[in-house]
Amino acid sequence: MFRVLFNIQALVLLVGVVGMAVGGYPPVREPDPLRDTLAFLALYLGLMGLERLFSRLFPSSFGVVQQLHSQIGRAFRDQQLGYNHALQLGMISGLAEEVFFRGALQSLLVSTLGLGWLGVVIQALIFAAFHPVPDRRAWSYPLFIFIAGLAFGVVYFLTGSLIPGILAHYLNNARGFYQLLDEAKRLERSENG
């Protein structure tokens, strides 16, 4: 499972890098460490707030999402995956998805095709479509991913830098994978204890 997920993300990264190279889209238009740091913090804290908001607004649907995530965590534990794997998956997925969806796709839609803000919305819709859920009761997850994709896209649109999105995406995914492993460990202890 780890190798499959890692390889899929590596392929997404490769396609994104090639797309950015062919389109001539730079990962950072004008370096500005302060801007990128503030954008990263706003984005990451916004993602955490969005998650809390969704858990309160849509508790039953978000509960189903949590159950689906628990199943993934158990599969990770069954395959002896640990926190190092969580960090690796968090990094490759954050990097790959930002490079592909924002760096290549959004740049194509906004810069080359001239769609402006509509391009930001379209990439967020496609980003959400690439994060399907197998249970219709978890309908809030694609909506959450769409809004997160909009946030990532807006930050890239305004800053011209992939760095805030990559960092926020990485930390958010790594935190999520850590939580999956922790939850699986708690369930394992309660079943055995």
Residue 185's pLDDT is what?
A: 77
**Domain total in the chain:** 1
Helix (H) or strand (E) holding 14: helix 2-23
Please give the pLDDT value at position 177.
84
Query: Can you give the pLDDT at residue 131?
Result: 94
- Domain assignment of residue 26, yes or no: no
Q: Which long-range contacts (CB under 8 A, 24 or more apart) does 109-118 make?
A: 110/157, 111/23, 111/25, 112/23, 117/157
Q: What is the pLDDT of residue 47?
A: 97
pLDDT score recorded for residue 41: 98
- Domain of residue 136, residue span: 42-192
Q: What is the pLDDT of residue 189?
A: 77
Residue 124 forms part of a structural domain: yes
Q: Report residues of the chain scoring pLDDT below 70.
A: 193
Q: List the one residue out of 76, 90, 88, 87 whose CA is nearest residue 183.
A: 76
First to last CA, the chain: 27
Is residue 113 a part of any domain in this protein? yes
Residue 169 confidence (pLDDT): 97
- State how far the Cα of 43 lies from the Cα of 134, in Å rounded to an integer: 28
* pLDDT reported for residue 193: 64
User: Tell me, what's the pLDDT at 112?
Assistant: 95
- Are the C-beta atoms of residues 77 and 183 closer than 8 Å to each other? no
Percent of all residues in the chain with a pLDDT value above 90, rounded to a whole number:
73
* CA–centroid distance for 23 within its chain: 23
